[in-house]
Structure 1
C-alpha cells in the first residue's frame, strides 16, 4: 500500500458550546483526488483550515509523510511554513495580481517559492520565465500569458491561480471550492485539469466542493462530515449509496441528484 502524503488524526475543535470537529481522521495518498464534503456547519471549513495552518485544533494531529518530512507534525504551524514543506493552496476567491500579466503572476510565484524576492540582481521579468511559461502551458493558459490578470475571464483566473499554486512544486495541494462561481462546463473542465495534473505530477489533492456533479464525477475518494463527525470515507460509489450520507447530507435524496449551494 502506498504511504500517504497527509495523515489527519483525531482532530477536535470547539467554539464555545459548539463542537466543530469531533475526532476526525483520514489520510490521502499520492495521485489521489480526495473530496471533503458536508452540509453547512458540518466542520469541513474548520478541518480544511486546520490542515492549512490557519487554525489550531484543540487536540489531534496533522502530519506530512514522505521525502524529507517523514512523519512531520505540522499541527499549528503557520501557513507559510507549511507551504515551504510542500503544501500548495488555492482559495474560493482567486488571489492574483490584477495589474500584472498572467506570465508575471506565475513568475512572481516562482520567485517567491525560491526565496529570491529580496535578492533580485536582475530584472524580475527575466527570472523563471521559461518555467512560468511551462506552468501556463500545463494549465491551459499559454495563450493568455501576456494579458493582465484583471482582463481574464473568471475561469482563466482560477487556472492562473492553479499555475501559481504549482510554482512551489507541492506534494499536497489544498483547493477550497476550486469551481465556485463557474458554469457547469467550466466546472468540469477545471476539475478534469486538476485530475490530470494529479496523475502526471503524483500530487495528492484535498478539495472542498459544494457541486455534487463535480465531486461524484471526478473524485477518487470522498470524506463526508456531519456535525463535526466523519460519517463516511470511501469511493464515490460507496459514499453515494451510503444511507447515512443520503439522510444527513441530502435529507434522503440520492447523492448526486442535486447540487447543494
Structure 2
C-alpha cells in the first residue's frame, strides 16, 4: 500500500534577517493524527518557522504544502480557509460573548458569514458549536460569559474556536503557557485525543518538557535555524547534540 501523504510538508525553508539566518534549510513533515513538538533554545528559529507555516512571514526560499497544495507565502486568512487552525500563547477569545457564541461566531466566520447575520432558525452552527464544547469539556459552561472563565477553560475555549473550521492542521503556539502542571497535562491530553479522533495533524511549540516528552509523537529540535534532531521523544531525549545545546544532563530543559 502507498503511504498516506503528509498533511504538512515543509521543504528547505530559509529566512534571513540581515546577516542572521533564522531558518537554514528546514524540512519536516506532519502526518494526520500526529503531534509534532517543535523545540529548541531561544533564537533557534522556532517562531520564525511557525510563522512561515502560518503565512505571517514569507520565506526567502523553500515551500510549505498542506495536503499536497503549495501554501507558501499565502496570507494567514487564506491559509485558515484551506484548513489550518491556530491557537496562541496568549489565548484570544471574545470576552464580551458567551462561550457558545464564541464558537458559533468562529463556525460562521469559517463559512464567510458574520454572527450579526445569523438567525436562531439557522440552528446548524449552534448544534456544531455545542458538539465542539462537548468535545472540549465546556458544554456545562456554554451560556457562561467568556470573561468569567478560569484560565484553563479559556484555553479550552480557544481550542474549540480553532477547531470550528474543521482544520486538517492545528498550529499551537505554547498551548500550555501559564498553566499549572495538572492543567497543562490535561489540555495536551485532550489535544492528543482529538487529533487521533479527527485525524488532525498538530504542530506545536512548547517549553514544558513534561508536555513534550509525555505527549508528542515526534520531536523536532532546531538550533541556529537548522534541524539538529527529528524523532521519537526517547531518541531525541538521548541525542548527545540535543543534550548539549538544549537539554541538561538529566534530560530536562536547560533553558527557555
Task: Give your verdict on TM over 0.5.
Answer: yes
CA drift of 1:75 comes to: 0.6
Residue pairs, 1:64-143, within 5 angstroms? 64-65=66-67, 71-117=68-114, 120=117, 122-123=119-120, 128-143=125-140
Q: TM-score, normalised by structure 2?
A: 0.95
Aligned to 1:2: 4
- Any stretches of 5+ residues in structure 1 without a counterpart? 66-70
Aligned to 1:40: 42
Q: Could you tell me whether the CA contact under 8 Å between 2:246 and 2:253 is conserved in 1?
A: no
CA separation in 2, counterparts of 1:125 and 1:253?
Answer: 58
Q: Does 1:189 align with 2:193?
A: no
CA separation in 2, counterparts of 1:136 and 1:259?
Answer: 37
Aligned to 1:241: 238
CA drift of 1:116 comes to: 1.8
- Any stretches of 5+ residues in structure 2 without a counterpart? none
Change in CA separation of 1:42 and 1:171 when aligned onto 2, cut-off 3 Å: same
CA separation in 2, counterparts of 1:259 and 1:179?
Answer: 18
Aligned to 1:224: 221
CA separation in 2, counterparts of 1:118 and 1:103?
Answer: 12
Superposed CA offset, 1:6-28 (max 9, x none): 10000010011111010000001
Aligned to 2:168: 171
Aligned to 1:27: 29
Change in CA separation of 1:148 and 1:240 when aligned onto 2, cut-off 3 Å: same
Q: Could you tell me whether the CA contact under 8 Å between 1:178 and 1:209 is conserved in 2?
A: yes
Superposed CA offset, 1:104-123 (max 9, x none): 00000011011122882625
Aligned to 1:68: none
Instruction: State the number of aligned residues.
Output: 254
Q: Could you tell me whether the CA contact under 8 Å between 1:212 and 1:260 is conserved in 2?
A: no
CA separation in 2, counterparts of 1:9 and 1:175?
Answer: 20
> Cα RMSD (Å) of the superposition?
1.6
Change in CA separation of 1:48 and 1:124 when aligned onto 2, cut-off 3 Å: farther
Q: Does 1:156 align with 2:139?
A: no
